[in-house]
Every structure is written in structure tokens, then in C-alpha cells.
Amino acid sequence: MITIKQLSKVFQTNSTEIQAVNALDLSIDKGEIFGVIGYSGAGKSTFVRLINRLEEPTSGQVTIDNQEITSLSKKDLRLSRQEIGMIFQHFNLLWSRTVRENIMFPLEIAGLSKQERLKRADELIGLVGLAGREDAYPSQLSGGQKQRVGIARALANNPKVLLCDEATSALDPETTDSILSLLVDINEKLGLTIILITHEMHVIQKICHRVAVMEDGSVVEKGNVMDVFSHPQQPVTKKFVEQVMGKPDDELADESILNQIDQGKLLRLHFVGETASQTTISQVAKKFDVDLNILHGNVKQTQSGAYGTLFVQITGDDKEIGEAISFITSTSVQVEVK
Amino acid sequence: MMSQLFPNVIWSDMVVAMIETFYMTLLALLGTFIFGIMLGLLLYLTSPGGVWQNKIINLIVATIVNVFRAIPFVILILLLFPFTDFLIGTLRGPNAALPALIIGSAPFYARLVEIGLREVDKGVIEAAKSMGAKTSTIIFKVLLKESTPALVSGLTVTAIALIGYTAVAGIIGAGGLGDYAYYYGFQRRSYDVVFMCTILIVIIVFIFQFIGDALTNKLDKR
């Protein structure tokens, strides 16, 4: 749905050239939540601004729904921007307008009648859960509520794409979660394509289907969130995965856990993807005459299922243990005997 | 009692002088507002990074603004005599003071407008652009709307400076309280008249300040 070809942006300062985005290629499918992660200065904010040409690209192409954004005239660009919603880190609401009037602003730009504007604004206020606050001014709202107004405003003209520029970075963890679930909700209800820029891996983990990792203006790694989590290739990706999963378990756990084991066996269960479910443990306990003792673990939920590892001590008859292990092997959970 | 304290004050003349001062201040304020907003917008929009970024126009406007702000008001009135004569057809009376009052205070207000516009969050302008807003929409619905409290408080400051200017203009025959204080008070050594004019001018200043502050507070939703 969105195709980005060889997109570049060079900032010219007095003495030097800064290559903010460097020959970037990307394709994003309809209806997916696509995450772009990188440290500050990686060029991700510039990248998202190139998509709706808030920054003019130096070279390259952006195509949305077969419309080449990069070749549009100023006038046509304004029209197509109405179909690209955008939300910001600092919300960027008009403080002189109430919640309702803020949401009506893009509708005024699109030239809707007052009646239609009011009707649409009320729908959106319901959608983002701000009913009862429509006449409040932004200064009277919490951060999370402000971002809800931002989201409602971005959705006003029924956009095809929603660009999120660090939309949760100014919010506390709890509010971040509620905004993220609102985004997932919108994505599912409206089938809206979302491009999300962040420097927080747990945002990617929680809601994205696919992710691209940016460093120095280039995409260094991309793929399904699950694949990137389970097999990070680049050092920068590994660092981001550690943000969420902690240090790799092998180093941390093996030695110390092995020392605690005086009977039975130590199993390392690796959960990847949709079919991975923790009922595996209880199934083993029911089917075989063994005892299971969970020693250490770290399992995270992503958009495409659970991901993580569990260290389990299994005790009992050797034969039963052997059968239990082959049962686990037959499920999608990967097992390793230590 | 009042006639004992102010033996030389003719109250009906005072009322006329006060109305003239109000008249000059309000009309000049209107002109100052219109030209000040235009100049201030031009300064802001043509500055580096602005929507109409243009070094040459910015330099020209900034120079005009600075030159007119640099000229002392008394001299500006004298300098504008031929222009006023051409425009109004007379050099005496409240109307004759208006061109000098507006030309004297519009550049001052323009700078305050520019400062107010700079205070508008760049992110909000970016958000409006991302919604497909035209430049005119950004100017009227974002820039001017969002900076309204600053524009009003700037106008209050300008109004008070203007009241001072009307008194100066009075010295060369524009009418109003300044005029009255000079010709009927100072020149006839009737200091009670000078004193009464002062009180009235201070009251007028307070009225403007009060209205301006109240309006700014009401408009400020931050």
C-alpha cells in the first residue's frame, strides 16, 4: 500500500551536509501496524515527515495507494494530506480551542458544513473515549487525554494512513498502554494502516506487526516483530530487544540455576509465536507423572503471540521425563535439556 | 469644594478635551492595530524559516519599522506636517494628529505582534500543515488565533503609549487633554488646570489597562 523507494534527505548547514535519511526502501501493507525504531538522531522522525512531505525529500519516491506523493503539486499535496493523519509527541493541539473545536479543525480545512463537523466530532469523541470532556480546553486535560484528542483529530477526515511520531514518548507507562490499545483498537475497527515511530522497544513489542530498525539514516534490519525479537541480527537490534527481554537468559541463568538442581532435569522452554501457549506446562503435568518447578522465566506478549523463555525443573521417573520431553517437542515450544 | 480646589477649571471644556483624547486614542489604536498586525505578520512570515521566507522583504520591512521607532514622536509630527496637510487638509484638531499617531505607534506594535507570533508553538503549525491547511488558514486560524492574548496585551501597552503621544500632539494644537493642559493651564499659570488634566489622563490610562488585562485573562486558555 505504501511504497518507499530510495528515499533520501540531506540537511544543508553552513559548513556541512547531514544525511538524515539515506536511500531508504520500504513497503508497508494495508492494515498493518508498522513500527520504526531507532535511537535519537537515527533519522526516524525525519523519515516520517518525508512521507507527508512536512520535510521535502532530497530524492526518492513515496507512493501511497498508487498516488505518488513525491510528485504532487502543492495544491494536490494539501488534498492528499487530508488522507494522511498524523499524531505527535507533544500533541500539538490548538490551546485556544476546546476538545470539540480541535477535532473540528481538520474538518474545517476539508470544507465540511458546520452540521457535518459537529456530527463527525461527536462520533470521534466517542471513539477515543472522551465523552463528557468535549468542552474542555487542552490545558485542562491530562497527557493521555490530549493524545486522545490528537488521535481523534488525525482520524477526522477518515485517513488511509496514520503516522505516529513518538506518540507515546511524553506519556507515563500506564497512559502509554492505554494509548497503544486505542491504536490497536482503531487499527482493527477501521482497518487503518499505522506507521509508528518510537525509541521504545516495548511499544513495538505490544502493538506492531512488523518493524524496521533504523541507524544513521538507514534501515539496518526489518521483519516480523516475532522474528526480529527471536533472532536479532544487528548489534543495535540486540540492544533494543534487551530493553524488553533483559540480558540473554543463557548467560544470566544457566550457571546459577544448574547449581540449584539436585534432582531431575533442567529444561529450557522457548516460546515463539502464536501457537506457543503456557498451557503446555499444565498439559505436561496432567498427562505425565512428573513434577514441574518453574525456576526462572521471561515471556512477553506481542501482536502475534507470546515470546520468551522459561526455565523449568522436571522431576520424577526417568521414563516419564523422557516422554514428557518428547511431548513438548511435538508442540511448537522449543525445548532444550540442560 | 471642587471650585475652591480647582478655581480655574472649566468643567465643560474638560469634558470636551477628554472626549478628544478618547477619540484620538481609539481611532489611532484602530489604525495601529491594522497596520501593526500587517507589519508584524510580514516580519514574522518573511523571517528565516517562515512560510514566506524572504531576506530582502524582511530587511526592508525591518528597516522601516526600526527607522520609525527611532524617530522621537515630537519630531515625527513635525516631519509629517506636509503629509498630514495633504491627507487631512488641516494641521489642527484631533484628526490632524491621527497620521502621526498611527505612523508613530504601528511599528512599535508590529514588533510586539512579531514577538507574539513567535510564541506560537511550531509544532501546532506543523500539525496544521499535516492536515492540509492553506497558508491563509494557518495565518488566520492558527497564528493569529493562538496568539490573541499576546496581541491584546501588546495592544494595551501600545494604547497607553498612544495616550502619551496624544498629549504630545496636543502641544502643537491637536486638541485633547495635553492641548488643554498646555494652553489653558501652563501658559496661563493655572496649575490647577494642569493638575486636573493629569488626573484625567491617569484615569484614562487605568481604564485602558483594566480593560486590556481583563480581556487578556479571558482570552488566555493556556
pLDDT band at B88 (very low <50, low <70, confident <90, very high): confident
What are the tens digits of pLDDT across the range B93-102? 888 899 999 9
| Mean pLDDT of the region B203-207 | 95
- A148/A78 Cα distance (integer angstroms): 24
Q: Which residues of B touch A78 (CB under 8 A)?
A: 132-134
Cell numbers found for residue B45: 512570515
Name B203's Cβ contacts closer than 8 Å, sequence gap at least 6.
none
ipTM at complex level:
0.86
Kindly determine whether residue A54 and residue B126, on different chains, have CB atoms separated by under 8 Å.
yes
Cell numbers found for residue B156: 494595551
Residue A253 has what pLDDT? 57
What are the sequence ranges of the domains in chain B?
19-174
- Out of B126, B129, B142, closest to residue A94 by CB: B142
Residue B173 has what pLDDT? 83
Cell numbers found for residue B134: 492553506
Q: What percent of chain B has pLDDT over 90?
A: 75
Kindly determine whether residue B141 and residue A96, on different chains, have CB atoms separated by under 8 Å.
no
- B58/A149 Cα distance (integer angstroms): 37
Q: Which residues of B touch A112 (CB under 8 A)?
A: none
Looking at domain B19-174, its CATH superfamily turns out to be MetI-like (1.10.3720.10)
- Out of B127, B133, B148, closest to residue A96 by CB: B148
Cell numbers found for residue A280: 503446555
**pLDDT, block means (10 residues), chain A with 338 residues:** 93 88 93 93 92 93 93 93 95 95 96 95 94 94 95 95 94 92 93 94 92 93 88 89 73 64 80 67 85 82 79 86 85 80
Residue A162 has what pLDDT? 96
Residue B33 has what pLDDT? 97
A290-302 and A305-316 beta bridge pairing: antiparallel
Name A127's Cβ contacts closer than 8 Å, sequence gap at least 6.
A152, A155, A186
